[in-house]
Amino acid sequence: MKPSKALLPLQTLSLVLGFAVWGVLSSLIVFIKEGIILTPGQLSLVTALPVVLGSVLRIPFGYWTNKYGARLMFMISFIILLIPVFYISKATTFNHLITGGLFLGIAGATFSVGVTSLPKYYPRSKHGFVNGIYGLGNIGSAISTFFAPLLATQFGWRTTVQFYLILLIIFAIANFFIGDRQENKSTIPLMEQFKGIYRNEKLWLLCFFYFITFGSFVAFTVFLPNYLVQQFDISKIDAGLRTAGFVALATLMRPIGGWLGDKFNPFKILVFVFIGLTIGGILLAFSPSIMLYSVGCLLIGFCAGTGNGTLFKLVPLYFSKQAGIANGLISALGGLGGFFPPLLLSLLFAITGHYAIGFMALAMVAMCSLLLVLYLYWQDRVKLAEQMIQSTSQAILVTNKKGIIININPAFTAITGYTADMAIGQKSGFLKSGRHDKDFYDLMWKQLQENNAWSGNVWNKKKNGELYLQFLTINAVQNDVGETSYYVGVFSEIEPTSERFNREVFSGNDRMHGNGMVVL
């Protein structure tokens, strides 16, 4: 399905608006609290609560996007958002802010729309970059953080909130007229999609990784404006500018992270991401000067943005048939990752008088994520090796250094008749035909130990008792210190009608120890 040239820009700009609306309370909280009295706990709750519904709704939003299309989802979302945005502009109490803020989560849930829709239009080799471009919509948070305080200074925070109503109407209309009416739809029921992925450990590990990377992005976006004013006694405008810089860096790194995931192994990129997050968390834990604090925040923004882009290269790679529900689950966990840290930091500050423990916790969780990424990378390499063995047309058996079979492939079963259950655990000698003497095998193993490889014609016996001639190649697999750990035998049956078969039979060499054999 060839995409319209306007589709990627339209969905990306729609996400910009979604994130701008999603972050309106945190952007204006320093102005709001001047007119509505809020305790520190209430203040944290007001800024963090929009994340809750915005995260939970990402699951059905991903599914609905597959079912109804991005055009309808964006349009309906922006129309519904008119109600809570207008309600917040009239708020006079904490309860008003909580109620309106909860439904602002619809704006954050729109993230699932594009990451589910856009990969349908592009080849797999571009999924990381395309989702990264769409992820630039995160910059909507930076736009709100930068412009909302400036507008609030001139017009007041209530009027500033009402400006968003105009943008919501414009983009609802734009999606109605420009959005793709012919987008491929999926009719697979929600529970059937979920059953297809919930046992896959990769899904839950990707959820956890996104919980850390996107959670860090959202948490710092929500947390920084008020924290910078309180901790370093800088102006609201300055705090907004610094937070906007953090958001802009994280957002700009997202397409770069997606592009890197397209070009290189995504797990290798994630290794560097979590190393950087670990270092950034440790740096912030020592409550440095505003200069070093800025360096630590920017390092976290750099790594979080790169990780966000790289992770959404992996989602369509592993879950192409359940992209809607997988995108929803992973992005939902990421959103929730932004809800808890501000509340936890406020609680720790109330108990200890500083935020060091919270930042150190970020470093420790990032380090755990690093170990899990290394595990997935190793598992991927093992799975690739296994797939190579299983898909090879020639028969393969793998033994340990004592000659006990530890793996075979389907071609082995097709030739010999022995299944994996029958062969694994036995010594390879159980295949012997009896047509070769002891000297033949002694010479074979001697040459194999000297050269780490052997090749030649061998008579063996099938499960049904039939003797057959095979061309066998054996290679020794050595560890890092040069010791043999495994032997890999690759063979194919020589057909009785072939010239090689007739030459072997009529030469009388089949009982000889090495005659007629090719030694590598």
Residues 152, 77 share a domain: yes
- Whether residues 410 and 376 fall in one domain: no
Are residues 40 and 139 located together in one domain of the fold? Answer: yes
Mark which of 388, 419, 441 sits at the end of a domain: 388
Pair 62, 147 in one domain = yes
The pLDDT assigned to 77 comes to: 96
Q: Give the angle 42-48-54 at the CA atoms, nearest 5°.
A: 140
CATH number at residue 464: 3.30.450.20
CA distance 445 to 453: 9
Indicate if 378 and 408 belong to the same structural domain: no
In a domain, 507, yes or no: no
359 lies in the same domain as 379: yes
Domain limit, last residue, from 346, 368, 388: 388
Of 334, 332, 337, 335, the closest CA to residue 59 belongs to 332
438 and 382 assigned to the same domain: no
Domain with residue 220: its CATH number is 1.20.1250.20
Single-letter amino acid code for the residue at 462: K
* Residue-level pLDDT at 3: 61
Verdict on whether the full-model pTM lies above 0.85: no
pLDDT tens per residue, the chain (520 residues)?
A: 566 678 999 999 999 999 999 889 988 988 998 888 888 778 878 877 787 788 888 888 988 898 899 999 999 999 999 999 999 999 999 999 999 998 998 998 898 899 889 988 888 778 888 888 998 887 888 788 888 988 999 999 999 999 999 999 999 999 999 998 888 877 767 676 677 677 777 888 888 898 889 888 877 877 787 778 877 888 877 887 888 888 889 888 988 998 898 888 888 999 999 999 999 999 988 877 888 888 999 999 999 999 988 987 887 677 766 666 777 788 777 777 766 776 677 777 778 777 788 888 889 989 999 999 988 888 776 665 666 667 777 888 889 888 899 888 888 998 999 998 899 889 888 888 888 888 888 888 888 888 889 988 899 999 998 999 999 999 988 876 677 888 898 988 887 766 666 666 555 554 433 333 332 2
Residue 189 domain-assigned (yes or no):
no
pLDDT at 511: 43
229 and 365 fall within a common domain: yes
For residues 326 and 432, membership in a common domain is answered with no
452 and 377: one domain? no
Distance (Å) of CA 308 to CA 110, 266, 301, 472, 480: 16, 11, 10, 48, 36
The answer to whether position 191 is within a domain reads no
The answer to whether residue 205 is domain-embedded is: yes
Q: Which residues 6+ apart lie within 8 Å of 190 measured at CB?
A: 60, 63, 325
Residue 513 lies in a domain: no
State the pLDDT at residue 165. Answer: 96
Per DSSP, the three-state class of 286 is coil
In a domain, 125, yes or no: yes
Examine residue 84 and state whether it is found in any structural domain, yes or no: yes
149, 30 in Cβ contact below 8 A? yes
Does a structural domain hold residue 116? Answer: yes
Instruction: Locate 84 and state its tokens.
Output: 């809570």
Q: Which domain holds residue 303?
A: 6-180+196-388
> Residue 395: what are its φ and ψ, rounded to 5°?
-70, 140
pLDDT at position 514: 36
Domain-terminating residue out of 354, 388, 422: 388
Terminal-residue alpha carbon distance, the chain = 52
- Give ∠ CA 229-159-58 in degrees, rounded to 5: 75
Q: How many domains does the chain have?
A: 2
Residues 224 and 118 in one domain: yes
Q: Kindly state whether residues 123 and 149 are assigned to the same domain.
A: yes
